[in-house]
């Protein structure tokens, strides 16, 4: 009988060596990383994503978009490959949590900063109002329009569903504030058709201790108390009533602050006529405005280049209001 010996070949590679090799080539992921992943399973309230980790990562439905999502298949498709943001570290099962929403927010803030730099006018639908103003969405971010920057005679509640042109007032990702102005957008559009020294007809929209706000073609201009008459006036209420039709002259157009400054003082043929003989002021308005424009041209031609222009009277600060954050919790 032939004796057969079985020989064992020592390959020098144990189970521990194999595990160490896996660890060597394992990718290490950290919260904040943006990685490529492939969708391999859609679930009722989320999806499993292969990003090359030992365990499939998970994205909950609330992290799938900057907008509301009711079903994962509205955003993701099986076998689709795209970028994901790693939201949290591995849980006890070794599973990472992912987000698309966070990437969209980062890119949305980048886009609105660019729009602000370009001084762009954007349009957006009002989706809600509160005591302080109106809410809109810009690039998916929630924006706030303070009531003082809404130029319309409608009650705020009636603006829901209406599209408004808007300019950026504040873009602050760190403080989560995106503030816009409807007034400034309208003023800018109106300013393109207006000139300093032009006489316009408007109506008194509101009266404050420091002046009267005049509606001129859908935008509001300020007739400061110092520009009503050459004679002293204790209060604008002594000269105007709300809804009065008035003839005023534009003395300044400030696109940066969205302000139109008006005057009737410069239209007075004689000091005090706005108080004593308003009809005469209105009858002579075009003639007085022509004299004003000529005077301004003469002053510009002879002005000292180093002379500083007279500053406009400071207006009271707008009352502080609660601004709704741009990113919803």
Query: Each residue of 234-289: pLDDT tens digit?
Result: 999 999 999 999 999 999 988 777 789 999 999 999 999 999 999 999 999 999 99
Asked if pLDDT for residue 145 goes beyond 70, the answer is yes
pLDDT at 323: 61
pLDDT at 324: 62
- Interval 147-162: pLDDT, tens: 989 988 788 888 999 9
Q: What count of other Cβ atoms lies within 10 Å of the Cβ of residue 149?
A: 22
Domains of the chain: 33-99 (2.40.50.140), 118-186 (2.40.50.140), 194-300 (2.40.50.140)
Asked if pLDDT for residue 315 goes beyond 80, the answer is no
How much of the chain exceeds pLDDT 70, in percent? 84
CA distance 224 to 248: 12
| pLDDT band with cut points at 50, 70 and 90 for residue 20 | low
pLDDT at 82: 94
Residue 270, token pair as written in the block = 């004689």
Asked if pLDDT for residue 320 goes beyond 50, the answer is no
Asked if pLDDT for residue 314 goes beyond 70, the answer is no
**Chain centre distance of CA 3:** 90
CA distance 272 to 276: 6
3-state helix, strand, coil in the chain (%, to 5): 25, 30, 45
């Amino acid at each position: 009988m032939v004796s057969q010996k079985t020989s064992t070949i020592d390959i020098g590679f144990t189970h521990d060596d194999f595990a160490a090799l896996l660890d060597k080539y394992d990718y290490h992921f950290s919260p904040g990383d943006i990685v490529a992943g492939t969708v391999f399973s859609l679930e009722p309230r989320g999806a499993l994503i292969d990003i090359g980790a030992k365990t499939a990562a998970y994205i909950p439905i609330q992290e799938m978009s900057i907008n509301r999502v009711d079903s994962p298949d509205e955003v993701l498709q099986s076998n689709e490959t795209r970028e994901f943001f790693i939201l949290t570290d591995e849980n006890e099962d070794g599973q990472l949590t992912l987000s698309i929403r966070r990437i969209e927010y980062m890119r949305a803030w980048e886009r609105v900063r660019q729009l602000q730099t370009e001084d762009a006018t954007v349009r957006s639908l009002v989706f809600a109002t509160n005591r302080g103003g109106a809410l809109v969405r810009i690039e998916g971010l929630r924006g706030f329009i303070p009531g003082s920057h809404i130029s319309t005679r409608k009650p705020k509640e009636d603006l829901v569903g209406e599209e408004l042109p808007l300019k950026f007032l504040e873009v602050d990702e760190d403080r989560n504030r995106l503030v816009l102005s409807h007034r400034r957008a309208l003023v800018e559009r109106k300013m393109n058709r207006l000139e300093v020294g032009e006489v316009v007809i408007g109506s008194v929209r509101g009266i404050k201790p420091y002046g009267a706000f005049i509606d001129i073609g859908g935008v509001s201009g300020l007739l400061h108390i110092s520009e009503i008459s050459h004679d002293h006036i204790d209060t604008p209420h002594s000269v105007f009533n709300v809804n009065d039709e008035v003839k005023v002259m534009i003395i300044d157009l400030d696109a940066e602050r969205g302000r139109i400054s008006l005057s009737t003082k410069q239209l007075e043929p004689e000091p005090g006529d706005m108080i004593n003989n308003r009809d005469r002021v209105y009858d002579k308005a075009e003639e007085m405005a022509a004299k004003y424009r000529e005077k301004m041209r003469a002053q510009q031609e002879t002005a000292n280049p180093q002379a500083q222009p007279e500053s406009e009277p400071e207006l009271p600060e707008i009352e502080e209001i609660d601004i709704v954050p741009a990113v919803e919790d």
